[in-house]
């Protein structure tokens, strides 16, 4: 089970490092995408920071179990918010599929992390 936890944590870390970095870069493409969902620049920076901190928490959480659980919970909450924003923004299923998939990966990682404590 621990190997699965490591694999899912590593995958999720890569996803959130990329997503968080993109948000913190302030690229116009990212600003436009999030503006459609009602997310301004300040919230975009907050989300990007939270994503990077959550990714770091997943890695450190492999050695400090409760931190890994907290990080996975935080990332699942972030992705739940993302899905809600997509729904409120009227996005089609294909446009929110990435957020849904990452939410599911976060929940799987959380479950594995709890089971391996």
Q: What DSSP letter does each residue of 51-102 carry, written as one string?
A: HHHHHHHHHHTTTSHHHHHHHHHHHHHHHHHHHHHHHHTT--HHHHHHHHHH
**Minimum mean pLDDT range among 4-18, 33-47, 48-62, 67-81:** 33-47
**9 and 115 Cβ atoms separated by less than 8 Å:** no
Stretch 81-91: mean pLDDT, rounded?
92
- Per-residue confidence at 105, pLDDT binned at 50, 70, 90? very high
Domain ranges in the chain are 2-115
- Per-residue confidence at 38, pLDDT binned at 50, 70, 90? confident
**Which value, to the nearest 10 degrees, does the dihedral of the CA atoms of residues 1, 14, 62, 51 take?**
-120
Above 90 in pLDDT, residue 37?
A: no
The H or E element spanning position 45 is: helix 41-60
């Amino acid at each position: 089970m621990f190997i699965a936890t490591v694999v899912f944590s590593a995958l999720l870390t890569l996803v959130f490092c990329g997503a968080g970095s993109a948000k913190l870069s302030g690229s116009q493409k990212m600003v436009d995408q999030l503006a459609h969902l009602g997310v301004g620049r300040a919230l975009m920076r907050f989300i990007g920071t939270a994503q990077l901190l959550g990714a770091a928490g997943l890695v450190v959480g492999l050695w400090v179990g409760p931190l890994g659980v907290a990080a996975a919970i935080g990332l699942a909450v972030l992705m739940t918010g993302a899905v809600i924003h997509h729904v409120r923004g009227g996005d089609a299923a294909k446009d929110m599929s990435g957020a849904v998939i990452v939410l599911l990966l976060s929940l799987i990682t959380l479950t594995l992390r709890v089971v391996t404590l």
